[in-house]
Amino acid sequence: MQSLSQICSNCTVESKCRKREFSVEAWTVLVIWNEVQAAAVDQPLCDECYNELRETLIDRASDVAEALLVGAGVKTAGGSKHATPGRSKVRRAS
């Protein structure tokens, strides 16, 4: 991994930054939770931001699946108002 002194894509502090490997799902939930800006995805991060994001993912591991469903527009047990993919809103006559 290349380490250069540059501006962190997340906190905008000049520091030694490296591109960090998170899964697509991890980046997605971090954006949904407003932990990172979409522009910072797959961009170099400083050690402090990386450690904070990593800890957030670990602490909220049980919330990841629900966040991904909400982000995809699926209705969750919490009652969010997102449409469920594949379901029609048209009612059938009885």
Contact (CB, 8 A) for 10 and 40:
yes
Domain-by-domain residue ranges, the chain? Answer: 22-76
5-24 per-position pLDDT tens digit: 799 999 999 999 999 889 99
- CA dist., res. 19 & res. 46, Å (int): 9
> Tokens 């906190």 identify what position?
11
Stated pTM of the model: 0.65
Mean pLDDT value of segment 67-91 = 50
